[in-house]
Amino acid sequence: MLTRRIIPCLDVRDGRVVKGVQFSGLRDAGSPAELAQRYEAQGADELVMLDVSATPEGRQTQLETVRAIREVLFIPLTVGGGVRSVEQAQALLEAGADKVSMNTAAFERPQLITQIADRFGRQCTVVAIDAATNEQGSWEVVTLSGQNRTGVDAIEWARQCEQKGGGEILLTCWDRDGTQSGYELDLIKQVTQAVSIPIIASGGAANASHLNEAIDAGASAVLVASILHDGLTTVESLKTELRNMNVEVRL
């Protein structure tokens, strides 16, 4: 039986984890490799690292961070943030990523999805979709870290991502990201019904019930960040609670 995946996400800026750690009681919580190792020990099924560096100088530390994580990590690693070319994807894979995640660049040049899938395989090609509700009450793709509302229907874009060669969709509800108010279940349902590739739900998790809801709505995996970084819970206790809710997890 294939289990549902719990995937901690490290937002990394200039080589340090930034999301939520300021309220953490963990020592050295800002080191990506140290957190990666901790989460694997807690039972994480994969790890996602998103580079949110604002400057090209910050981005240069990205490969070093990937190498440092890889040395201590023996579960899959997905790396995203500013991936704009096949060459960049290759450099990340050579440094130790197992999958690459594209966002704005894939939206602007959908052929990038095909190029990366052709070269490295569909299972290696993750497309991140950020969606927000619009005035018509439907889901719209947003890019450039939420700054740009595209007017494009997120469900239709998810279908295209699959057709272009995407192997997995990292689906973030931009309205909920960091709010800890639960995942946007309607968005998850609509996208999982539209495509046959796995969906990772992201944005808004505060507790195991939220994870259970996203899985019920069709997500193959759930991304978790703040509540882990802030030390509010562990991967292991989330999984124990999920198992008690009859969700198949690896414990």
Partner 1 sequence: MSPPKVSIIRTGTANTASVLNAFTKLGATPELTSDPKEVIEAQYVVLPGVGSFGAAMEELVANDLVDPIVQRANSGKPLLAICVGLQVLCTSSEESPKSIGLGIVDASITRFKNELPIPQLGWNTIEIKSGCNAARAYLTPGEAYFANSYRLECVPPGFNVAMSCYGSPFVAGFERNGLLACQFHPELSGRWGLELLESWLCQSGAMSC
Instruction: Enumerate binding residues for partner 1 (CB under 8 A).
Output: 1-5, 40, 45-46, 67, 70-71, 74-77, 93-98, 117-124, 167-168, 196-199, 220-221, 250
Task: Name the residue nearer to partner 1 (CB basis): 41 or 144.
Answer: 41
CB of 197 to partner 1, least distance (A): 6
CB of 199 to partner 1, least distance (A): 8
How many Å apart are CA 92 and CA 86, to the nearest integer? 10
Two structure tokens written together for 25: 């009681």
Judge contact between 182 and 206, C-beta under 8 A: yes
Q: How many CB atoms lie within 10 A of CB 105?
A: 16
How many Å apart are CA 62 and CA 59, to the nearest integer? 5
Active-site positions? 11, 130
Q: What ranges in the chain are assigned the alpha helix state H?
A: 32-42, 56-72, 86-95, 104-108, 111-120, 154-164, 185-194, 208-216, 226-229, 235-244
CB of 76 to partner 1, least distance (A): 5
Task: Name the residue nearer to partner 1 (CB basis): 16 or 122.
Answer: 122
Task: Name the residue nearer to partner 1 (CB basis): 18 or 96.
Answer: 96
